[in-house]
Amino acid sequence: MRVLFSFVGGGGHFQPMVPLARAAAAAGHAVACTGAAALLPLVEREGFTAFASGPSRVAAAERRPLLPLDREREERDVREGFARRTAPERADAVLELIGRWRPDVVVCDEMDFGAMVAAERAGIPHVPVLVIASGSFLRPDVVAEPLEGLRAAHGLPADPTMTMLSRDLVLSPFPPSFRDPAFPLPPTAFSFRAAVDGPPPAPIAVPEDVPTVYFTLGTIFNMESGDLFTRVLDGLRELPAHVVVTVGGQIDPAEFGPQPPHVRIESYLPQDTVLPRCSVVVSHGGSGTVLGSLAHGVPSVLIPMGADQPHNADRCAALGVGVSLHAEHATSAEIRDAVATVLTDPAYRRAARRVRDDIAALPDQTAALALLEDLVASRTGRRPTSGP
């Protein structure tokens, strides 16, 4: 079986597919990945064949001020950016790559609408992998209008209810319990747990006699956060806790000046080396960070800035696994007090551990791979075998 993994956007759109891609490669299937040219080094570091397909959407090269949170603006960005502007370019690029590489199936992140249209145009199945934990940010009513135009341009039939987003199989690396109940998973969805490939990395060394607080703003919104890093650091510094901070590769930790011994600032640390020792995670509420925290049973203080983050924060609050603060207005004292509350109230950790147990009970990516093989078999009339 030949599997093309396609993603639009940054690493948060690629990483949810990595466990499945590794499982497919381990089973002997031919695997290749395609995304923006700027992201190909990330793909290659994971050991996969990488093909460029534009356009490029990467993190801002310069620091930007923090914008007021505006959910309608973020939905417009999905409609006008991902669906109207980016999807047509990706449809052409991925269709050309399909013609060259000849995959049996395209596995794509759920916002890679162009790859979905390209696969349908080529007559092969496509399988979206969810990258939005809450499920309430990407909706057919937001993207249907521009995608109907794209379908028409490629000679595909009208699809007003956007069945293309969930037609054959949808793979979700999130527990169903985290999904917003107002936006249930489609009947074709299969939830799986991204199991660790090989032994887990050794956790970083932190004092065991005090709690550890981890603070991150991700790899995209870290550049659009204004003075938020400083406000959060000023609050966390006052806590009786070990504080671990990652600011991203484009920001110099020295920018924040000398820190006391209990505060450690790094450009990057693998998340799984930090989370096993954490008591609370302070973050922007990106889906990857939220899922990683909950997989370890760690509650959160969330400071959402945009994209799917406010929706994830809503779910965390509803499930009792964290509290949400206003990114533009939260003071250092308010951030400190929120973290102190989550640290000292055991209800938050109990709730986070319930979601952790939901995640642990899910089948791993090998079960998702079996469904992918079944789908290809149903389309081709033959059982997929290893090799090219």
* Three-class DSSP category at 326: coil
pLDDT in tens, 278-326: 999 999 999 999 999 999 999 999 999 999 999 999 999 999 999 999 9
Instruction: Indicate the pLDDT class of residue 196, thresholds 50, 70 and 90.
Output: confident
Within a 10 A sphere around the Cβ of 240, how many other Cβ atoms? 9
Query: Which two tokens mark 374?
Result: 């079944």
Q: Is pLDDT of 59 > 70?
A: no
Q: Which of 159, 188, 147, 189 is nearest to 172 (CA)?
A: 189
Judgement on whether residues 219 and 351 belong to the same structural domain of the protein:
yes
Query: Which two tokens mark 353?
Result: 């551990």
Judgement on whether residues 38 and 160 belong to the same structural domain of the protein:
yes
Q: What is the pLDDT of residue 20?
A: 97
pLDDT in tens, 21-31: 999 999 999 99
- DSSP letter string over 226-282? TTHHHHHHHHHTTSSSEEEEE--TTS-GGGG----TTEEEES---HHHHGGG-SEEE
The arithmetic mean of pLDDT across residues 198-214, rounded, is 85
With respect to residue 206, please indicate whether it lies within any of the assigned structural domains. Answer: no
The arithmetic mean of pLDDT across residues 9-20, rounded, is 91
Judgement on whether residues 285 and 187 belong to the same structural domain of the protein:
no
With respect to residue 198, please indicate whether it lies within any of the assigned structural domains. Answer: no
With respect to residue 201, please indicate whether it lies within any of the assigned structural domains. Answer: no
pLDDT in tens, 77-106: 999 999 999 999 999 999 999 999 999 999
Q: Is pLDDT of 58 > 60?
A: no
Judgement on whether residues 34 and 46 belong to the same structural domain of the protein:
yes
Question: What CATH code is carried by the domain that includes residue 351?
Answer: 3.40.50.2000
Judgement on whether residues 311 and 367 belong to the same structural domain of the protein:
no
Alpha-carbon distance of 215 to 382, in angstroms, equals 49
Outline where the chain has alpha helix (H). Answer: 11-14, 18-26, 40-45, 71-76, 87-101, 113-122, 140-153, 228-236, 271-274, 287-295, 309-319, 332-344, 346-360, 365-380
Judgement on whether residues 82 and 149 belong to the same structural domain of the protein:
yes
In percent, the amount of the chain with pLDDT more than 70 equals 96
Q: Could you tell me the residue range of the domain that residue 319 belongs to?
A: 212-360
Judgement on whether residues 67 and 216 belong to the same structural domain of the protein:
no
Q: Which of 19, 16, 43 is nearest to 32 (CA)?
A: 43
With respect to residue 181, please indicate whether it lies within any of the assigned structural domains. Answer: yes
The arithmetic mean of pLDDT across residues 220-234, rounded, is 93
Judgement on whether residues 356 and 366 belong to the same structural domain of the protein:
no
Judgement on whether residues 6 and 53 belong to the same structural domain of the protein:
yes
Q: What is the pLDDT of residue 57?
A: 52
Judgement on whether residues 54 and 171 belong to the same structural domain of the protein:
yes
* Three-class DSSP category at 70: coil
With respect to residue 385, please indicate whether it lies within any of the assigned structural domains. Answer: no
The arithmetic mean of pLDDT across residues 367-378, rounded, is 97
Judgement on whether residues 343 and 298 belong to the same structural domain of the protein:
yes
Q: Is pLDDT of 375 > 60?
A: yes
Instruction: Indicate the pLDDT class of residue 388, thresholds 50, 70 and 90.
Output: low
Q: Following CA atoms 219, 217, 71, 10 in sequence, which dihedral angle do they give, to the nearest 10 degrees?
A: 10
Long-range Cβ contact pairs of 301-304 (< 8 A, separation 24 or more): 301/325, 301/335, 301/338, 301/339, 301/342, 303/228, 303/232, 303/327, 303/330, 303/335, 304/69
With respect to residue 199, please indicate whether it lies within any of the assigned structural domains. Answer: no
With respect to residue 207, please indicate whether it lies within any of the assigned structural domains. Answer: no
| CA geometry: angle 97, 100, 104, nearest 5 deg | 80
With respect to residue 231, please indicate whether it lies within any of the assigned structural domains. Answer: yes
pTM comes to 0.93
The domain tally of the chain equals: 2
Mean of pLDDT over the chain? 93
Residue type, 95: L
Judgement on whether residues 141 and 269 belong to the same structural domain of the protein:
no
